[in-house]
Amino acid sequence: MRDSRVDFDVLIAGGGPVGAALAAALRDAGLVAALADPGLPADTQPDGAAAAPFRPIALSHASTLLLERVGALDALSLTPIRAIHVSQTGGFGRTLIEARDVGVPALGWVGDLAPIAEALQHAARSALLAARVTRWESEREDGAVRVRLADGRFVRARLLVLADGGGSAGDGLSLREYGQAAVVAQVRTERPAAGVAWERFTTGGPLALLPFADRYAVVWSMRTARARELLAAPDAAFLAALGECFGRRVGRFTEVGARVSFPLTLRFRRAAAVAPRVVAIGNAAQTLHPVAGQGLNLGLRDAFELAAHLDRAGRPALERGEVAASYAAQRRADRYASIGITDGLVRVFGLDHPLAAAARGLGLAALDLAPPARRFFARRFVFGLRALP
Ligand X SMILES: Cc1cc2nc3c(=O)[nH]c(=O)nc-3n(C[C@H](O)[C@H](O)[C@H](O)COP(=O)(O)OP(=O)(O)OC[C@H]3O[C@@H](n4cnc5c(N)ncnc54)[C@H](O)[C@@H]3O)c2cc1C
Question: CA-CA distances (angstroms) from residue 252 to 187, 239, 275?
Answer: 10, 9, 53
Site mask, ligand X, residues 214-233, x = CB under 6 A? -----x--------------
**Least distance in Å: CB of 206 to ligand X?**
11
67, 84, 133, 307: residue in contact with ligand X (rule CB under 6 A): 133
Please identify which residue in 93, 115, 143, 293 interacts with ligand X, judged by CB under 6 A: 293
- Interface of this chain with ligand X, residues 171 to 190, rule: CB under 6 A: 182, 184
Collapsing DSSP states into helix, strand and coil, what is residue 54? coil
Among 6, 10, 11, 13, binds ligand X (CB under 6 A): 13
Q: Helix H segments across the chain?
A: 17-25, 61-69, 113-123, 224-232, 235-246, 295-320, 323-350, 354-369, 371-383
Nearer to ligand X by Cβ, of 211 and 290: the residue is 290
Angle, alpha carbons 289-294-298 (nearest 5°): 120
Regarding 36 and contact with ligand X (CB under 6 A), the answer is yes
Check residue 163 for interaction with ligand X (CB under 6 A).
yes
CB of 130 to ligand X, least distance (A): 10
User: Does residue 93 belong to the site contacting ligand X (CB under 6 A)?
Assistant: no
Residue 207 lies near ligand X (rule: CB under 6 A)? no
Q: Which of 54, 262, 336, 377 binds ligand X (CB under 6 A)?
A: 262
Q: Are strands 8-13 and 33-36 parallel, antiparallel or unpaired?
A: parallel
- Choose the stretch contacting ligand X; rule: CB under 6 A; options: 85-93, 272-280, 289-297, 335-343: 289-297
Tell whether residue 14 is a contact of ligand X (CB under 6 A): yes
Q: What is d(CA 158, CA 9) in angstroms, rounded to the nearest whole number?
A: 5
What is the distance between the alpha carbons of residues 74 and 71, in angstroms, rounded to a whole number? 7
Q: What are phi and psi of 41, to 5 degrees?
A: -70, 150
- 37 belongs to the binding site for ligand X (CB under 6 A): yes
* Residue 176 one-letter amino acid: R
Which of 16, 93, 143, 321 binds ligand X (CB under 6 A)? It is: 16
CA distance 150 to 130: 10
The closest alpha carbon to 53, from 122, 117, 113, 116, belongs to 113
Binding site for ligand X (CB under 6 A): 13-19, 36-37, 39, 57-58, 113, 132-133, 163-165, 167, 182, 184, 219, 262, 282-283, 290, 293-297, 299
